[in-house]
Amino acid sequence: MSETISNQLQDLLQNGRMGLNDIVLTNAGVSVAYLSAYAADPKQMQTLFDSFTPLGKSCINVAVKFGVLGNGNDGKVDKAKMNDELKALLADWLQMNSGFDSNNSDDDEVFRFRGAFDLIGHLTNAFGRREMCIK
């Protein structure tokens, strides 16, 4: 049953983006990552973590990576390395959505983060209360 749910969620993340807001996609991404903790081969967590690249939709990338780190299964994967990759992704994501670029003039004082802070807040509020996140 969990494999069927995982397949449906992954299909939603990869193909069903139309009409879904970022919170729904974020929740689906974390759900897939939590299900990966129950995979027969722990290396599937690493595969899932690596499968969502920064070239895709950022809220999904961050959610899947955050979920893999917080899913509670620490077997046979290097979560320290994954943690460093997530930190780099978050920094890039915030910089990319900050509104700062080399073409901005000093007259433009409006900088928007295009929902990045909202999604990070949602992730930490909804899923970040686990022991791993508090440390």
- Residue-wise pLDDT for 36-45, tens only, equals 888 888 788 8
55/25: higher pLDDT: 25
Tracing tokens 């919170």 back to the chain, one arrives at 23
pLDDT in tens, 83-95: 898 888 888 877 7
Contact 89, 113 (CB under 8 A): no
| pLDDT at residue 111, as a whole number | 52
Dihedral sign, Cα of residue 86, residue 92, residue 97, residue 100: positive
pTM for the predicted model, two decimal places = 0.75
Q: What is the DSSP letter of 107?
A: T
d(CA 107, CA 101) in angstroms, rounded, equals 13
d(CA 40, CA 64) in angstroms, rounded, equals 19
Q: How far from 71 is each of 29, 37, 64, CA to CA, in Å? A: 12, 6, 10
Contact 32, 64 (CB under 8 A): yes
| pLDDT at residue 119, as a whole number | 82
73/57: higher pLDDT: 73
| Average pLDDT score over the chain | 77
pLDDT in tens, 90-118: 888 777 766 655 555 555 555 556 677 78
d(CA 107, CA 18) in angstroms, rounded, equals 35
